[in-house]
Structure 1
Amino acid sequence: MCRMSQKLLIILCTLFFISLVFKIEKAFSYKFHYQFSLLKDTDNSSLKQPLSVFVDTKVKRIYVSDAARNRLISYDFAGSPLKEFTAAGQLKGPIFMVKDSSGCLWIIERPLNVLTFVDLKAKKFKRRLLKYKNFTLLPARLALWRNHLFVLDQFSGLIYLVDTNLIEANKIIGLPKLKDFKGFIDIKVKKNRLFALENGGKRLFAFDLNKGTQQILYLKGANSVLPVSFDIDDHNNIYLLDRDLKKILVFSSKGIFRKSFLKEGFRMGQVRYPSYLVISGSRLYIVDEGNGRIDIWGL
């Protein structure tokens, strides 16, 4: 009886250990695989200079900024092109776009160095040159939170808060008091927190937008060369896109390096000059400027 109890105990401990390992692996699940690419417009012509992608899960639409052809293109979730938006020919070199909860668009037009507001329903089109204390901003990235818009300035590497009613920069967000601070290169909003990747890809800052607190996560175990973008999946894994390495470096929620993937090349699923990364639900979107397409990976 005693031997039977010991064997049963060993079996139960083994099963518990296996289930524990499975749960840990699940928490670190980053098994994205290539699915398809967005590379044609509504006229079956190729994208010329895709620079960013925005995913609207509410209406299941994907929006691509095609800067060289002065347009935005929408796609359904199956990858079929739907509409082209040029603001009747007014749009100039859009490099980034976000869509707010009311359906309005906020667009960075690089040739004009402006933040552009578009209300499609009301047919409103407004441009603003953003300034902060007589300092003209060079918008590079946008992120939305409630009725506020965060603008990453490429000149200073700082994040500015823009009230979407006033449409002016009125505050610097989370200025790190660090002597070796190198400025931010990408921002994302996740669950009431603003994440910002520092230039060099060694530190990820998290600003709690409700509490006003700040945390710094150090990314360890891998050397990045030219990080340009990042995002975080549902398991809090961090994905760092390196334009020079042509790879995505994956870190755990504690900043420990786990693996890397992607290969350089021209084939579907390979990249030449990747410039932006977005994770939405079970999909990962990679903007590949060199190959002129958006690669979509899924779980």
Structure 2
Amino acid sequence: MELRNKTVVITGGAGFVGSHLADRLVADNEVRVADDCSNGDPDWVPDEAELLRGDLTDPDVVGAAITSDVDVVFHFAADKDPARDDVEQYRFNNRLTENVLERMDEVGVENIAFTSSSTVYGEAPRPTPEDYAPMEPISIYGASKLGEESLLSVYANTHDFTAWVFRFANIVGPRLQKGAVIPDFIHKLREDPETLEILGDGRQEKSYMHITECVDAMCHVVEESEAAFNVYNLGTRTTTSVNTIADIVADEMGIEPDYEYTGGDRGWTGDVPRMRLSIEKLSALGWEPEQSSDDAVRQATRELLEEH
């Protein structure tokens, strides 16, 4: 599906990933953003895009956002806190996706792209391919994403939808909000440049991908893959430890803090301490990341320091 001269809806389009996608698409498409701005900033939405502010659990809001002239919905709206240990997060995220899919079906919109997460795999062997099984998420967030993927699969297989599911590694870059490791380290070190508290033991090791490459990969997959239900991992071939992130942030800030650890092998209940996704399927489709995980972390650190 060529992303040119289309009417595009981005739910959660005022957030980190959604606003960067809007920036990318707005030059060649009519872009409509639907967001309650609880996890984003209306100032991040490009001026050329239409912004509808509201909660997508409200039928009136989803009805105004998704109309029969829409060509594709990028569904990014969600409660995105991976450390939240509350089953209401599962209900809320699945309710959002149910509302979006039902409205699309009602008005005849059949193309949807969805941001999922590596957390759907749980603690899986690395590198983890898209067809790894059994899927055993260990967090409510991961369970909610897997539930939403299942809904998209149903609509792709029984309602003639085309669905693209993106299982993200850790995406970093400008506009990344507090709660993610890089902005958290920056905030802590500005408060106290002498000491940095690190959750867990610092050995947690994951793949980090810069937002510009993430958006490029998503657009490539939508334009090049043609199955009814398309699932792709998005990440890099390398990983970065939490200790290395701390070293990079401290280096970019020109300081040498002491590290203090909270202990244990993970940062919070439900945290997957080690993650690296297989991107062989993405590579076979003709897209490769240019940056390593460390490169993405360093670029994002510089951008976030300049941003604040």
Verify same fold: TM over 0.5.
Answer: no
- Which of the pair has more CA radius of gyration? 1
Identify, as 1 or 2, the structure richer in helix: 2
What TM-score results when the alignment is normalised by the length of structure 2? 0.29
Q: Give the structure, 1 or 2, with the largest relative contact order (CA under 8 Å, sep 6 or more).
A: 2
